[in-house]
Amino acid sequence: MNIGELFDATADAADAVPSLTIRRPDDWHIHLRDGGMLKAVLPFTAAQFARGIVMPNLVPPVTSVADATAYRERIMAARPDGSDFQPLMTCYLTDHTRPDEIERGFAERAWIAAKLYPAGATTNAHHGVTDLVALAPVLERMEKIGMPVLIHGESTDPSVDIFDREEVFMEKSLLPLLKRHQGLKAVIEHVTTSGTVDIVRAHAPRVAGTVTPHHLVINRTSIFQGGLRPHLYCLPVAKRESHRLALRKAVTSGESCFMIGTDTAPHVRGAKEAECCSAGIFGGVTALQTYVQVFDEEGALDRFEAFASLNGARFHGLEPNKGTLTLLKRPSSVLSAVPVDEKEVVVFRGGEVLPWSIGRVKA
Ligand code: DOR
Ligand code: ZN
């Protein structure tokens, strides 16, 4: 990593700006969707990240080696010209998942992890797991072969307050699961509470946590600022300010159990500005600009490379990327929406001028 005054070749010498050069980062949690949406959103993720773990919650979900292989090929075909972005695939766990299929896909590198959605917890999660105890044979096999489970940690009990769903899941489901499967590698995805931060820390290094850019910059009040803001609605829903501050502290702490996972989750404008708004924030355009701004504000730029480019690779047993990416402390305005077929997807922080921008990428 190199923090310094860098001459940006695209600007005049007089425009030299502070910059941060890091190993090329990876995004350990993305929703790329399929078809026209895939084609529209992939270039933004591919411009920022060298690799990405692709969520399997398509309709129907990615549950077999054949599904994952075909989906990976569609992603590769949708990459912009010249892109070297590498999609890392996942398998969607259901009540019917077979341990042998899980192991086969992992051995053949069709996927690197499995995604655990409690049934009904979020978008396209209705095929998810209804009984975590009954999932034991699958989790035991994953434990044996060293394959991580990526967990959407929210209770699906409708009587649980939406702002408590993560905490209840951690206490009632996650902690017992980690106890039952003491060697299982697990990622607690999109951590939103200080309690979950503590749980990740307490179980590291076999447990890691991803944190989204949006949960670092919005709290639950932001969703109601001046009216109801559907484009800030995602699951897990943003929590109160004290939790946001705990997340900022965690990611900038330098602890290797925290890593990028943007949870970029595009939905067309009509699905968000609707009577029943879909959950998901399209953060793929402004992810790194947001993360680096947080590290800058917290005085932790020297810790950004580990969070962005090293911790996740180490957890997943992969080499860090070879190339570099330079972030420039130069204001840039962000496009407000991305066209998708005849529709559009609203960009998180779209239309704003952000203090940081993406500079050069070296392969
Ligand atoms: O807000 C969310 N959107 N959270 C999820 O867990 C899923 C995602 C999606 O697929 O839209
Ligand atoms: Zn997600």
**Catalytic residue numbers, as ranges:** 263
Residue 235 CA to ligand 1 center (angstroms) comes to 6
For range 148-163, the mean pLDDT: 98
Compute the distance between CA of residue 340 and CA of residue 38 in angstroms, rounded to an integer: 9
Sign of CA dihedral 251, 53, 118, 281: positive
Ligand 1 pocket: which of 53, 151, 263 to mutate (most atoms <8 Å of CB)? 263
Q: What is the CATH number of the domain that holds 233?
A: 3.20.20.140
pLDDT value at 7 more than 50 = no
Residue 15 CA to ligand 2 center (angstroms) comes to 38
Ligand showing the shortest atom-to-Cα distance for residue 261: 2
For 35-81, what is each residue's pLDDT tens digit? Answer: 999 999 999 999 999 999 999 999 999 999 999 999 999 999 999 99
Q: Does residue 195 form part of some domain? A: yes
Compute the distance between CA of residue 208 and CA of residue 312 in angstroms, rounded to an integer: 8
Atom 7 in ligand 1: residue holding the nearest Cα = 123
Instruction: Determine which helix (DSSP H) or strand (DSSP E) holds 63, and give its type and residue range.
Output: none
pLDDT confidence of residue 2: 60
For 327-357, what is each residue's pLDDT tens digit? Answer: 999 999 999 999 999 999 999 999 999 999 9
Atom of ligand 1 nearest to the CA of 266: 11
Atom 10 in ligand 1: residue holding the nearest Cα = 123
Where does 124-227 show beta strands of DSSP type E?
149-151, 186-188, 207-211
Ligand 1 close to Cβ of residue 279 (< 6 A): yes
Q: Nearest to residue 107, comparing CAs of 86, 121, 91?
A: 91
Q: Does residue 94 form part of some domain? A: yes
Is 23 in contact with 323 (CB distance < 8 Å)? yes
Average pLDDT, the chain: 96
Compute the distance between CA of residue 356 and CA of residue 346 in angstroms, rounded to an integer: 20
Residue 272 CA to ligand 2 center (angstroms) comes to 16
For 139-149, what is each residue's pLDDT tens digit? Answer: 999 999 999 99
Domain count, the chain: 1
Q: Does residue 20 form part of some domain? A: no
Q: Does residue 357 form part of some domain? A: no
Q: Does residue 130 form part of some domain? A: yes
Domain of residue 195 covers: 26-322
% of the chain residues with pLDDT over 70:
96
For 191-211, what is each residue's pLDDT tens digit? Answer: 999 999 999 999 999 999 999
What's phi and psi for 159, nearest 5 deg?
-80, -10
Q: Does residue 289 form part of some domain? A: yes
For 171-192, what is each residue's pLDDT tens digit? Answer: 999 999 999 999 999 999 999 9
pLDDT category at 16 given cuts 50, 70, 90 is confident
Compute the distance between CA of residue 56 and CA of residue 98 in angstroms, rounded to an integer: 16
pLDDT confidence of residue 236: 98
Ligand 1 close to Cβ of residue 349 (< 6 A): no
Nearby residues for ligand 2 (ion, Cβ within 5 Å): 263
Q: Does residue 75 form part of some domain? A: yes
For range 276-293, the mean pLDDT: 98
Residues in contact with 331: Cβ distance below 8 Å, sequence separation at least 6, in sequence order: 353, 354, 355, 357
pLDDT value at 1 more than 60 = no
Q: Does residue 176 form part of some domain? A: yes
pLDDT confidence of residue 4: 52
Residue 14 CA to ligand 2 center (angstroms) comes to 42
pLDDT category at 5 given cuts 50, 70, 90 is very low
The secondary structure of 22-41 as a DSSP string is: EEPPEEEEE---SHHHHHHH
